[in-house]
């Protein structure tokens, strides 16, 4: 039996006691245990701040980039082993596992490339000098310096590799040591990545630590120079934001939480645009068994196209092969945990109680391929439908974190925009159409309620990327329900881990102070 360990204070530590059990969600067998009992989290954070902090801050962007490149290669080099763990402990198909693992190595590589652009500087200079008087004798400049604390990364169960990699890439490039904590239920992939990073001595001592199991009092020791980057449910996010030490010390907190992402179809679309809409939708409902913060939860279609779209989605979902994700013919595996399965089935029941109709799915599938009868945490791909944007308010409020989406007809563009905005703030929505006036009204109408909007037209249909693909070049996060956070976005992501300080004084002196910094 494998025991997930923690790497803190520069060494591997085995937690005491029997710990939490990690399962294979297809067979329900226990595949590992994880315990952090007895780990001294106060000391772990102090070690990262005091040993890792000075070490990473002394490096240049180029040197940090070399570490990120090595981390990217370490993950890519162990791709097959990591895929097998994701199938075993996450219920991922091979394709789902690649999405997570390749996402991690690609994001680390993208930040390594960015490091090359930033060169041999150690900090960033924000914008140009501003004259505060009539001449340059009295001037101002802004610098971004790495915070002198530790970045604690708490990740959700659905992306154990990507979540670790994307947060690590940005914090390391900014020059801040990291303590990474995956969700316990699917920690095997993240644990193996942590082992690889440590075995290959990719980071200096104290720069990378790993917590393999329950968080204990880890976050209670965060202080004014530390950062908490959290991905998970809105309810836990809200709890963490309200921790007394977080409030008292104004700990920098970034929250990536739930989202009721929408896909919008225009009234008239070319065949290419319509095909793209259907292709993206099928992927966004079933990839990772719908356990993606970016999955499409609400599908807005013109009322005149409702029947056509309903039939097309049902047809696509009928082609999904649910079963043991280790089989090549299976295209959708189980949910990650029994709790997830229960929450998804309960969530569907709540939406139905609120007025949604089940068009297809809505329950566990009869006989998942290659699975012993009665075993596994499966839910069939599910399409629900409501009568209008004003009905069944719960579809705009409850995130059902599985292969579930709701079809919603609209009668006018203003009603559509208001309906999408009822999601209360989202990570990413997608709009498909070829009419510029419609696209402008919808995109600008919903933009302030989103972190990202993907626009599908016949001009880019052949080259488009599905909305759920989070790109390192663009920001990820969203207002309101989505947590109000922002990650990635190239150099923009470094802000979370930096203090922006205004320097005010004699102009030529300021120029000498910012010398060696990289202006962005
Ligand atoms: P969760 O239950 O909120 O857990 C998330 C993480 O928080 C886990 O690592 C968990 O650790 C930890 N945690 C829980 N309680 C804690 C506490 N009191 N102190 C410190 N850490 C604590 O969420 P989940 O079920 O893993 O993930 C599903 C949710 O994440 C969905 O709502 C989804 O939308 C959201 N999500 C958002 C994004 C995004 O980028 N916006 C991405 C992925 C997922 P343990 O596992 O050890 O309990």
**Rounded mean pLDDT for each run of 10 residues along the chain, 520 residues in total:** 96 96 98 97 98 98 98 98 98 98 98 98 96 88 98 98 98 98 98 98 98 98 98 96 98 97 96 97 97 98 98 98 98 98 98 97 96 96 96 94 98 97 97 97 98 96 91 98 97 98 96 96
* Cα 211 to middle of ligand 1, angstroms: 14
The reply to whether 261-472 shares the fold of 41-257+485-519 is: no
Numbers of helices and strands, H then E, in the chain? 15, 23
Residue 28 contacts residue 89 (beta carbons within 8 Å): no
Atom of ligand 1 nearest to the CA of 476: 40
- Alpha carbons 152 and 242: distance in angstroms, whole number: 16
Catalytic residue ranges? 256, 293
As given in the structure block, the two tokens for residue 451 are 């972190």
- Alpha carbons 416 and 508: distance in angstroms, whole number: 55
| Protein residues with CB under 6 Å of any ligand 1 atom | 154-159, 181, 183-185, 214-215, 219, 231-233, 236, 239-240, 256-258, 293, 399, 401, 427
- Alpha carbons 74 and 8: distance in angstroms, whole number: 20
What is the structure's pLDDT at 1?
83
Number of neighbours of residue 305 by Cβ within 10 angstroms: 17
- Alpha carbons 446 and 467: distance in angstroms, whole number: 16
Full-model pTM? 0.97
User: DSSP 3-state assignment of 58?
Assistant: coil
- Alpha carbons 386 and 328: distance in angstroms, whole number: 35
Of 19, 37, 232, 296, the one to substitute when testing ligand 1's pocket (max ligand atoms within 8 A of C-beta) is 232
- Alpha carbons 107 and 105: distance in angstroms, whole number: 6
Question: Which class does domain 41-257+485-519 fall in?
Answer: alpha beta
Q: In 3D, which of 364, 388, 390, 386 has the Cα closest to residue 376? A: 364
Domain 261-472 sits in CATH at: 3.40.309.10
- Strand-pairing partners, residue 255, are 230
Residue spans of the domains in the chain: they are 41-257+485-519, 261-472
């Amino acid at each position: 039996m494998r025991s997930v360990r923690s790497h803190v204070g520069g060494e591997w530590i085995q937690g005491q006691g029997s710990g939490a059990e990690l399962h294979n969600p297809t067979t329900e067998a226990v595949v590992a245990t994880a315990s952090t009992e007895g780990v001294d989290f106060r000391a772990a954070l102090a070690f990262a701040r005091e040993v890792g902090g000075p070490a990473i801050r002394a490096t240049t962007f180029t040197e940090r980039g070399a570490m990120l490149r090595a981390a990217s290669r370490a993950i890519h080099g162990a791709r097959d082993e990591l895929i097998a763990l994701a199938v075993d402990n996450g219920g991922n198909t091979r394709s789902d596992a690649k999405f997570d693992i390749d996402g991690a190595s690609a994001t680390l590589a993208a930040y390594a490339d960015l490091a090359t652009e930033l060169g041999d500087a150690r900090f960033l200079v924000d914008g140009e000098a501003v004259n505060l008087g009539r001449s340059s004798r009295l001037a101002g400049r802004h610098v971004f310096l790495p915070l002198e604390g530790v970045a604690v990364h708490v990740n959700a169960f659905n992306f154990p590799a990507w979540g670790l990699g994307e947060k690590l890439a940005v914090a390391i490039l900014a020059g801040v040591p990291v303590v990474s904590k995956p969700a316990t239920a699917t920690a095997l992939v993240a644990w193996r990545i942590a082992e690889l990073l440590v075995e290959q001595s990719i980071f200096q001592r104290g720069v990378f630590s790993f917590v393999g199991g329950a968080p204990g009092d880890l976050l209670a020791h965060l202080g004014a120079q530390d950062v908490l980057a959290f991905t998970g449910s809105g309810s836990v996010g809200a709890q963490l934001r309200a921790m007394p030490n977080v409030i008292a010390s104004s700990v920098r907190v970034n929250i990536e939480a739930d989202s009721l992402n929408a896909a919008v179809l225009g009234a008239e679309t070319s065949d290419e645009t319509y095909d793209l809409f259907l292709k993206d939708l099928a992927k966004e409902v079933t990839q990772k068994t719908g356990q993606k913060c970016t999955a499409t939860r609400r599908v807005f279609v013109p009322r005149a196209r409702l029947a056509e779209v309903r039939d097309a989605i049902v047809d696509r979902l009928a082609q999904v092969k649910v079963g043991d994700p280790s089989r090549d013919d299976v295209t959708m595996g189980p949910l990650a945990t029994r709790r997830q399965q229960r929450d998804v089935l309960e969530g569907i029941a709540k939406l139905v109680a609120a007025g949604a109709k089940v068009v297809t799915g809505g329950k566990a599938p009869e006989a998942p391929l290659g699975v012993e009868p009665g075993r596994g945490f499966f839910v069939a791909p599910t399409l629900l439908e409501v009568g209008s944007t004003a009905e069944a308010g719960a579809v705009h409020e409850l995130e059902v974190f599985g292969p579930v989406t709701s079809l919603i007809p609209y009668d006018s563009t203003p009603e559509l925009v208001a309906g999408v905005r009822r999601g209360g703030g989202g990570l990413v929505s997608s709009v498909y159409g070829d009419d510029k006036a419609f696209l402008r009204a919808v995109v600008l109408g919903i933009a302030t309620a989103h972190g990202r909007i993907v626009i599908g037209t016949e001009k880019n249909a052949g080259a488009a990327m599905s909305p759920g693909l989070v790109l390192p070049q663009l920001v990820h996060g969203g207002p309101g329900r989505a947590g109000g956070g922002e990650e990635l976005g190239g150099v923009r992501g470094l802000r979370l881990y930096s203090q922006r300080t205004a320097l005010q004084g004699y102009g030529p002196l300021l120029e000498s102070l910012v010398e060696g910094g990289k202006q962005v």
